[in-house]
Amino acid sequence: MTTNKKLLAFIEEYKALLNPDKIVWIDGSEVQLEELRKQAVDEKIIIKLNEDLLPGCYLHRTTQNDVARVEGRTFICSKNKEDSAPINNWMETTEAFTLLNGLFKDVMKGRTMYIIPYSMGAVGSKFSKIGIEITDSIYVVLNMAIMTRIGKSVLDALGDGDFVKGVHSYADLDEEKRYICHFPEENTIMSINSNYGGNVLLGKKCFALRIASYLGKNEGWMAEHMLILGIENPKGEVKYIAAAFPSACGKTNLAMLIPPEIYREKGYKVWCVGDDIAWIRVGEDGRLWAVNPENGFFGVAPGTNLKSNPNALLSTKKNTIFTNVVHNLDNNTVWWEGMDKNPPMNAIDWKGNPWNGEMKDADGRAIKGAHPNSRFTAPAINCPCISSEFEAPNGVPLSAIVFGGRRAKTAPLVYQSKDWNNGVFVGSIMASETTAAAVGQVGVVRRDPMAMRPFVGYNMGDYFNHWIEMGKKVTNKPKIFNVNWFRTDDNGNFIWPGFGDNLRVLEWILARCDESIDAKETAIGFVPFAKDINVNGLEDVTTETIEDLLTIDKEMWLKEAEGIEEFYGELTRVPTELYNQLKTLKDNLNK
Ligand code: GTP
Ligand code: SPV
Ligand code: MN
């Protein structure tokens, strides 16, 4: 398959360590993939779903201890501690290799070692990067085949070039021995004892964010946890926005939104370029250009329905792998909470137990059939609103960068930063309630700068500094905003309708980018005049509601400023520019 000496040496090295019975190179052909699907069905790794209703679709259930990313067991390894720590878990490079080589020894005995050549970005594009993932998991192979471009064409594009080394084994799925280790200085990822999503599809968070953010810092570009969408106005002009929200905070939903009826009637359209990751470079025109390096969506299933996100739902109607959702035995399809109001009555839950939609716990609450972090892996080309620029080698030019978190109070519906450095500050102070996308307590507010807390492959202060440095190179800067779709009323209900109606806020954002609309200056930045958020066609939202969503509570923000200072204090190498921004914020609040 290849004559790349470094690649052959890498394979030999790990063949000796892992000791597999058999080696299979993934060539990317449909014939080979179909054989692997059949084998996986025979081995009960996946279940073939109803071919008429869900052609080419499969269901997979993970073990119960392996349902999300494990941040506590995810490490950035480097020679010097401070180059990775303090936000990341750190391990010294040699120590980590010793530990992992011990765990990986002979781990593939009796198993097949699959070698997946994959490209992040269109094959052969000068901005794309290539990885090789060694794995013993067919589930990983089949998911990587959807999420990335794989196979022989990737090896051809690689030639004698360099690649990111990835080694994965599900081993015994022992959570005590689960490690997701990154070696940015060695271009290497090692993952063991998991078989779930972000822990094992090494092209995604491990490479496209953690390793790539490190490469980007050294090479002068950025790898960000951002969706990319295009908004086409009635004149047919398309403007692009990239938005960073933490895991399970609405990227997939925003990336594919369906405009509200009053916008559709006028001719507005939304095009999805990416739903999770953006690689961003400075173009020759001095603007920022963004590429989605992925080839599919690994989306949150619960809550996805024909009303909230029809484009996502339609993306899952063929050639999709579902993980940890409900198996409807009546018609051999899938279901999850929030899909519709007709849960199946004869089904198997994500744990593999008999389940029906009427089951209640001791407190009378419905027992969930799908795991809250259950997911679909769907090809991007399935998406009805996939952008014509999805494969564009240079990506799309950004008019705006949007940050956002899940905050019940404090953060207003939207505000605009004053300039680039202030925008970097706004990103750096992001906070959000934790979700089921990572193992741990859900609903706790934590700082999640740029939605990258779990994904920066080096020191967080250095990462902030990289943002500031990038600003100096971008002569034609996108404007930077912050949004919050998740403010709640006193009963805990979301005030803002969200989903498709978020376009109403994006419209204001684009108007600000054009400088075609005024805004109100506040201590934290520019907020809209309530009348400038279009509420036509909304039932329960009036201009007063918007007024309420835009309030900036001084006391809360003074507390927030304290929280920010505390957070900065936990970091090292925070640029002075950001401390200056914090001082300005406090001064503004105390005015
Ligand atoms: P990752 O794939 O983990 O990175 O998540 P994501 O950021 O793509 O989040 P996703 O779009 O899958 O949404 C996660 C959850 O947030 C789902 O349960 C959605 O229903 C919910 N959600 C998304 N957008 C909105 C919104 O505008 N308002 C409200 N209230 N909920 C939303
Ligand atoms: C996230 O958690 O941000 C995801 C899912 O997109 S995972 O691939 O598991 O990281
Ligand atoms: Mn994500």
Residues 6+ apart with CB under 8 A from 452: 209, 213, 224, 225, 244, 463
**pLDDT tens, residue order, the chain (591 aa):** 899 999 999 999 999 999 999 999 999 999 999 999 999 999 999 999 999 999 999 999 999 999 999 999 999 999 999 999 999 999 999 999 999 999 999 999 999 999 999 999 999 898 999 999 999 999 999 999 999 999 999 999 999 999 999 999 999 999 999 999 999 999 999 999 999 999 999 999 999 999 999 999 999 999 999 999 999 999 999 999 999 999 999 999 999 999 999 999 999 999 999 999 999 999 999 999 999 999 999 999 999 999 999 999 999 999 999 999 999 999 999 999 999 999 999 999 999 999 999 999 999 999 999 999 999 999 999 999 999 999 999 999 999 999 999 999 999 999 999 999 999 999 999 999 888 888 888 888 899 999 999 999 999 999 999 999 999 999 999 999 999 999 999 999 999 999 999 999 999 999 999 999 999 999 999 999 999 999 999 988 999 999 999 999 999 999 999 999 999 999 999 999 999 999 999 999 998
Choose which residue among 71, 245, 253 to substitute to test ligand 1 binding: the one with the highest number of ligand atoms within 8 A of its C-beta: 253
Cα of 587 from ligand 2 centre, angstroms: 38
Quick one: which atom of ligand 1 is closest to the CA of 255?
11
Look-up of token digits 């970097």: 424
Say yes or no: CB of residue 300 within 6 Å of ligand 1: yes
Look-up of token digits 């089904």: 347
Query: Which candidate, 413, 417, 381, places its Cα nearest to that of 401?
Result: 417
Pairing of strands 321-323, 326-328: unpaired
CB 116 within 8 A of CB 101: no
Q: What angle do CA 224, 225, 229 make, to 5 degrees?
A: 95
CA 228, CA 250: separation in Å to the nearest integer? 12
CA 497, CA 541: separation in Å to the nearest integer? 8
Say yes or no: CB of residue 197 within 6 Å of ligand 2: yes
Q: What is the DSSP string of 53-86?
A: TSTT-EEE---TT-SSB-GGGEEEEESSGGGTTT
Say yes or no: CB of residue 296 within 6 Å of ligand 2: no
CA end-to-end span of the chain, whole Å? 67
CA 145, CA 163: separation in Å to the nearest integer? 18
Query: Looking at the CA of 255, which ligand is closest?
Result: 1
Query: Looking at the CA of 245, which ligand is closest?
Result: 1
Look-up of token digits 């059949």: 38
Among protein residues, the one with the nearest Cα to ligand 1's atom 29 is: 498
Say yes or no: CB of residue 455 within 6 Å of ligand 1: no
Active-site annotation, residues? 249
Joined together, the tokens standing for residue 103 give 């765990």
CA 490, CA 408: separation in Å to the nearest integer? 10
Joined together, the tokens standing for residue 140 give 């990983």
Residues 6+ apart with CB under 8 A from 480: 400, 401, 402, 403, 416, 417, 420, 422, 423, 424, 426, 427
Query: Which candidate, 563, 538, 540, 590, places its Cα nearest to that of 410?
Result: 563
* DSSP conformation class of 534: -
Cα of 247 from ligand 3 centre, angstroms: 5
Say yes or no: CB of residue 204 within 6 Å of ligand 2: yes
Among protein residues, the one with the nearest Cα to ligand 1's atom 27 is: 498
Look-up of token digits 């109070």: 409
Joined together, the tokens standing for residue 575 give 């640029």
Residues 6+ apart with CB under 8 A from 56: 318, 319, 320
Among protein residues, the one with the nearest Cα to ligand 1's atom 11 is: 250
CA 199, CA 578: separation in Å to the nearest integer? 32
Say yes or no: CB of residue 276 within 6 Å of ligand 2: yes
Quick one: which atom of ligand 2 is closest to the CA of 300?
5
Q: What angle do CA 107, 111, 114 make, to 5 degrees?
A: 95
Cα of 198 from ligand 3 centre, angstroms: 8
Joined together, the tokens standing for residue 279 give 């690689």
Say yes or no: CB of residue 198 within 6 Å of ligand 2: yes
Beta bridge partners of 130: 119
Determine the angle formed by the axes of helices 138-147 and 30-42, rounding to 10 degrees.
140
CA 506, CA 243: separation in Å to the nearest integer? 11
Joined together, the tokens standing for residue 374 give 């259950």
Q: What is the DSSP string of 313-372?
A: HHHTSSS-EEES-EEETTTTEEE-TTS-S---SSEE-TTSSEE-TT-B-TTSPBPPSS-T
CA 279, CA 127: separation in Å to the nearest integer? 9
Cα of 406 from ligand 1 centre, angstroms: 10
CA 439, CA 196: separation in Å to the nearest integer? 12
